[in-house]
Amino acid sequence: MIYLFYGTDTEKVRKNAFEWIAAARAKEPNLAYAHISGAELTSNTIEDAASSGGLFVKRLLILIDDPFQEEDSAEIIEKNMNALADSDNAIIILAPKLTAAKAKKISAKAKKVYVHDIKTATGKNERGFNSNLVNALAARNREKLWLEINRALREGDAAEMLHGLLHWKARDLMEKGSRAWTQNESRQLSLDLIALLQKSRSSDGLELAESLEKFALSI
């Protein structure tokens, strides 16, 4: 089953997707959850996402985060669209700023579609999108970033959500440029965050929350 989250209001799209995931996990605590960034998407990971959970886990909740930033990842999604749609697992495709053509194609296969576009009148920031967190990364303020990560974890935000926001901001810095980060540095930042997530999933890696704290102090 595909659940598509997209729209020009990037902050609201991401906020809504992570709130939906949090609600789903609260409703079904035994639901296994995995976060896959677009950059680490492969044919094998897609096959694993679409297949059944296994002996002890009947269903999976899979977040595929911004897969259309990379041409290879976009092709993998499009080639496996039917398998994802037919899967018993909940496949969340988080794709801010998705083109109309791709949105139409995925929406036709999706169980549910959530669209958030920027409107003329903007409201105040609500909890869910942590602007202080991403602003600290953009400013390259390691102390502030460390504090914001710890504050968010104490208030109950999932480490996966914080990682997703930080990686999104790294990609945003690559696209828009920054005084604090050169293009090469922001690209390396994105790669480092991907590696951090992969390492946290290995048997000898730190927990993701601890890895994020260590990462904050290294920027």
Domain ranges of the chain: 2-115, 131-216
pTM over 0.95? The answer is: no
**Residue 92: burial class (beta carbons within 10 Å; 0-12, 13-18, 19+):** buried
Q: What is the pLDDT along the chain (219 residues), one digit of tens a residue?
A: 999 999 888 888 998 999 999 898 888 888 888 889 888 889 898 888 888 655 455 678 999 999 988 788 889 999 999 999 999 999 999 998 888 888 888 999 999 999 988 764 444 444 457 889 999 999 999 999 999 999 888 877 888 889 988 999 998 898 888 899 999 999 999 999 999 988 888 767 678 999 999 999 999
Please give the Cα distance from 29 to 91 (Å, whole number): 17
For the domain covering 2-115, report its CATH number. Answer: 3.40.50.300
Q: Are 61 and 33 a contacting pair, CB within 8 Å?
A: yes
Q: Alpha helix (H) ranges present in 30-141?
A: 43-50, 71-79, 81-86, 100-107, 131-138
